[in-house]
Amino acid sequence: MRILFIGDIVGGPGRRGLAKLMPALRGEFEPDLVIANGENAAGGVGITERTANDLFETGADVITTGNHVYRHREAYDFLEREERVVRPANYPAGNPGRGHTVVEAGGMRVRVVNLSGGVGLRVARSPFDTVDSILSHHEQDAVIVDFHAEVSSEKVAMGWHLDGRVAAVLGTHTHVPTADGRVLPGGTAYVADVGMTGPRTSVLGVKPEQALRSLITQMPTRFETATDDVWVMGAVVEVNERGLADSFEQVMVPVERAV
């Protein structure tokens, strides 16, 4: 069973870029399951029902999120009712949405878990305790974790914490891909960050001149999503019948060059 995982999709440029490239990605990787991080799907920050449906139409089967999930109030009701969208499981229990979901893919019941790092981000519970609790209370054939976290040490640690217990721990949030992707000794595919799906002529998706003005002057600055040089970034993981990974492959494809 093959999984295509897509990193933080940033705004319209990210959504359109992914839509443009998806036929080629499907042709090359033939995924049974597509998981996409949509926390930046709506205007660069947050997600809405419309942008989530846009990603479903493009081919996402499950959408994960992160710290920007509650940016758009009108999405709260949608997060409650849409079982294919998850938000970090270690947020306050009463918050809108769910932290994990199960989908059928390639003859397997796959649980997709979203977790937030506890270092530099606000959480209600430790991501380590939370994922342990989820794994001890649920049955499935394979588990994929989107670890939406800021700090590389915590991401590396989560890889080791879950090695041999889940099929993949795939990092998101920093929007910068890391070069540590591999299958760990216990059989878990791991990468600290898959990177973002959005404009590379940017600072994490924001127009460079605006991000620079903000950092240099420290004055309030309007941020807009950049548009140039859109890339799709993510990972492909081959999952075996034991629910562990046989391979990990990094995906970094410029939209313009591929079409």
* Residues with a known catalytic role: 68
Q: From CA 144, how far away is CA 64, in angstroms rounded?
A: 11
Stretch of residues binding Fe ion (CB under 5 A), selected from 63-71, 98-106, 134-142, 215-223: 63-71
Spell out the residues 6+ positions from residue 107 whose beta carbon is closer than 8 angstroms to its own: 1
Does 14 bind Fe ion (CB under 5 A)? Our answer is no
Does 66 bind Fe ion (CB under 5 A)? Our answer is yes
Q: From CA 119, how far away is CA 108, in angstroms rounded?
A: 33
* Nearest Cα to Cα of residue 199 among 18, 67, 71: 18
Binds Fe ion (CB under 5 A): choice among 2, 15, 173, 207 = 173
Does 54 bind Fe ion (CB under 5 A)? Our answer is no
Does 15 bind Fe ion (CB under 5 A)? Our answer is no
Does 155 bind Fe ion (CB under 5 A)? Our answer is no
Does 67 bind Fe ion (CB under 5 A)? Our answer is yes
Stretch of residues binding Fe ion (CB under 5 A), selected from 18-26, 40-48, 111-119, 226-234: 40-48
First to last CA, the chain: 27
Binds Fe ion (CB under 5 A): choice among 6, 8, 63, 169 = 8
Does 40 bind Fe ion (CB under 5 A)? Our answer is yes
Could you tell me the smallest distance in angstroms from the CB atom of residue 7 to Fe ion?
Answer: 8
Does 44 bind Fe ion (CB under 5 A)? Our answer is no
Q: DSSP assignment of 139-198, as one string?
A: --SEEEEEEE-S-HHHHHHHHHHHTTTSSEEEEESS-S--S--EE-TTS-EEES----BE
* Nearest Cα to Cα of residue 71 among 116, 101, 97, 40: 40
Nearer to Fe ion, 6 or 25 (CB): 6
Give phi and psi for 179, each to the nearest 5.
Answer: -100, 25
Could you tell me the smallest distance in angstroms from the CB atom of residue 205 to Fe ion?
Answer: 8
Residues 20 to 39 in contact with Fe ion, rule: CB under 5 A: 39
Could you tell me the smallest distance in angstroms from the CB atom of residue 244 to Fe ion?
Answer: 27
State how far Cα 19 lies from the chain centre.
Answer: 16
* 199: region left, alpha or beta (phi > 0 left; psi from -120 to 50 alpha): beta
Residues lying near Fe ion in the complex (CB under 5 A): 8, 39-40, 66-67, 173
